[in-house]
């Protein structure tokens, strides 16, 4: 069996985090065979943390939380008030993750999730470093790690490649800040699927697997063979989470931020079961051929 725990993003099943939605999502993730449920905290206002933690524990699921920021709460801004709002949002999200029982908080923790009209400023980057240094210190006291998800140019101007993420992590200077690679974003920004994974090496802490169009795995053009071979080459034992979005399941905020306009699938549970089988086969095949 694969040594990696497999996860699924909650937006495969539901667009929000009300108690009923969380209960349904947890049930479907478990029935699809996954070990981890990733919950976006963009809808945290509706999240009953105690109820969600109880549901996750009852199902035997681990949890990872993720988020990006907003332009009025952006730690890469040069406006001190905007940065402060972003820093509070990150601290609140870290606390929610801990209360849910999670040990990893990841995503575009360094900027708003959207297209910028200008390059990142030196002052903005310095603010990112300072805020994430404080967040990493707080995370360490909770026994937690942070992930820097490398996103494409249409979703951030802070880090678009693994090498940029590593430089940012070096400047933050905390060993509980790890690199989060995503095949969807890598397809846009990286030269190939191999070198970024080898470059990240043992600092790779989390993986998103998604197709180039964010639909069914194997229905697009991504070279997952080289992707999984590279993970095997570095001996990656961390979590691998399936991420897919369709206009059939709408988040009031995140769907617009990610420009999810197309209906790529209608049946989330069927999609999830297919993804679990695909990932399991890819990892098992990689292990046998090693």
Gyration radius (Cα) of the chain, Å: 18
Task: Pick the catalytic residue from 21, 155, 211, 243.
Answer: 243
Does 155 participate in catalysis according to the annotation?
no
CB atoms within 10 A of CB 90: 26
Token reading at 63: 């949890």
Between the alpha carbon of residue 271 and those of residues 8, 218, 276, the distances in Å are 10, 12, 9
Task: Pick the catalytic residue from 38, 149, 155, 211.
Answer: 149
Does 149 participate in catalysis according to the annotation?
yes
43-50 long-range contacts (CB < 8 A, ≥24 apart) are 43/15, 43/16, 43/17, 43/251, 43/252, 43/253, 43/254, 44/17, 44/92, 44/93, 44/96, 46/16, 46/17, 46/18, 47/17, 47/22, 47/96, 48/18, 48/19, 48/22, 49/96, 49/99, 49/100, 50/99
Q: How far is residue 30's CA from residue 263's CA, in Å, rounded to a whole number?
A: 24
262-268 long-range contacts (CB < 8 A, ≥24 apart) are 262/213, 264/213, 264/214, 264/215, 264/216, 265/215, 265/216, 268/12, 268/13, 268/14, 268/28
Catalytic residue positions, numbered: 149, 243
């Amino acid at each position: 069996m694969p040594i990696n725990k497999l996860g699924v993003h909650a937006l495969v099943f539901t667009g929000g985090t009300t108690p009923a939605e969380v209960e349904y999502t947890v049930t479907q993730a478990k029935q699809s065979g996954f070990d981890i449920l990733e919950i976006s905290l963009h809808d945290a206002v509706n999240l009953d943390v105690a109820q969600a933690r109880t549901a996750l524990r009852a199902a035997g699921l681990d949890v990872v939380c993720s988020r990006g920021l907003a332009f009025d709460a952006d730690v890469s801004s040069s406006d001190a008030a905007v940065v402060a709002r972003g820093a509070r949002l990150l601290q609140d999200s870290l606390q929610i993750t801990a209360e849910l029982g999670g040990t990893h908080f990841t995503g575009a923790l360094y900027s708003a999730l959207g297209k910028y009209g200008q390059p990142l400023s030196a002052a903005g980057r310095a603010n990112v470093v300072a805020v994430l240094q404080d967040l990493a210190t707080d995370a360490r006291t909770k026994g937690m790690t942070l992930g820097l998800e490398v996103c494409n140019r249409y979703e951030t101007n802070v880090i678009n490649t693994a090498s940029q993420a590593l430089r940012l992590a070096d400047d933050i200077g905390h060993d509980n800040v790890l690199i989060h690679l995503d095949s969807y974003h890598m397809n846009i920004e990286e030269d190939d699927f191999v070198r970024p994974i080898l470059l990240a090496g043992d600092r790779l802490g989390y993986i998103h697997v998604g197709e180039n169009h964010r639909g069914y795995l194997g229905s697009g053009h991504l070279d997952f063979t080289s992707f999984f071979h590279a993970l095997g080459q570095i001996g990656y034992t961390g979590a691998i989470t399936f991420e897919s979005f369709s206009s059939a399941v709408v988040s009031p905020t995140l769907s617009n931020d990610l420009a999810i306009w197309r209906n790529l699938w209608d049946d989330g549970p069927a999609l999830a079961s297919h993804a679990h089988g695909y990932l399991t086969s890819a990892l098992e095949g990689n292990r046998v051929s090693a």
